[in-house]
Amino acid sequence: MVKNELMKYSCPLGKAMSALGSKWKPIIVLVIKDRKLRFGELAVRINVISRKVLTDQLREMESDGLVIRQEFKELPPRVEYSLTEKGLALLPILYLLEEWEAKYHDYNPEKEKN
Amino acid sequence: MVKNELMKYSCPLGKAMSALGSKWKPIIVLVIKDRKLRFGELAVRINVISRKVLTDQLREMESDGLVIRQEFKELPPRVEYSLTEKGLALLPILYLLEEWEAKYHDYNPEKEKN
DNA sequence: CTGTATCCCCGTAGATACTG
DNA sequence: CAGTATCTACGGGGATACAG
């Protein structure tokens, strides 16, 4: 969970990366977007993630203040996840990362002059 | 190295995160910035990283087209690292991440209305 | 339906010593 | 100075089975 105490308490970027620097968290943020999604919907849309890992990631994101978990006491149970303001603020940054990847995905650095 | 084949070849964000989603790469990008830094200077500025790991990360970043490695055939040897255009394009995004962290580092999601 | 409980693998990264 | 070469440890992530 705590990737590295040193990281968490030193540079701000380290803290940021420990909040979203896992394999799945950025993707979960992108998938939830501005909607509310049930656990099962999330699992379907990210169909390569196991349920255990999805649960783990969501729990961590919840305690990092990225997502809200809303549980309905019904049968069958229903749980809806949505982004907090903090999580929503991350969206445009993730879009920038996607654009960056799209722009440079075939980039080959020709020996740059100095 | 290849974190996960599925990730690398599916969603663009997955590819982006595999290029900078490691523990040290974002920090290395921020430290190099628009300068050229020698290996030893990097090691000093990120003083908690071991030399082996620093080398590994730099090699991967080189093959991902993020950094340029310029070797001078001198004695004692000198090697200078700098960001490519691709790496430089990452800088503003990382700054946004820092701002995001700074803004929300004490954020506590009050039960948001729906 | 929404999770837990286990168990296990493998990769990342750390420590240390050595080299051209 | 700028790395390699080993060896080791840890823990994230995956598979599977079970539970409320």
Tens of pLDDT along A13-71? 888 888 888 889 999 999 999 999 999 999 999 988 999 999 999 999 999 999 999 99
Give the Cβ contact number of residue B107 at 10 Å.
Answer: 16
Cα–Cα distance, A45 to B21 (Å, whole number): 22
**Do B109 and A82 count as a contact with CB atoms less than 8 A apart?**
no
Q: Which of A6, A82, A107 sits opposite B48 (nearest CB)?
A: A6
**Do B93 and A93 count as a contact with CB atoms less than 8 A apart?**
yes
pTM value?
0.89
Cα–Cα distance, B97 to A44 (Å, whole number): 29
Task: Kindly report which listed range (A47-61, A85-99, B14-28, B78-92) carries the lowest average pLDDT score.
Answer: B14-28
Residue nearest to nucleotide C4 (CA to C1'): A52
Higher pLDDT, B105 or A8: B105
User: Is residue B65 pLDDT above 50, yes or no?
Assistant: yes
Tens of pLDDT along A25-35? 999 999 999 99
To the question of domain A21-96 being in CATH 1.10.10.10, the answer is: yes
Q: Where are the domains of chain A?
A: 21-96
Cα–Cα distance, B49 to B47 (Å, whole number): 6
Q: In 3-state terms, what secondary structure has residue B50?
A: coil
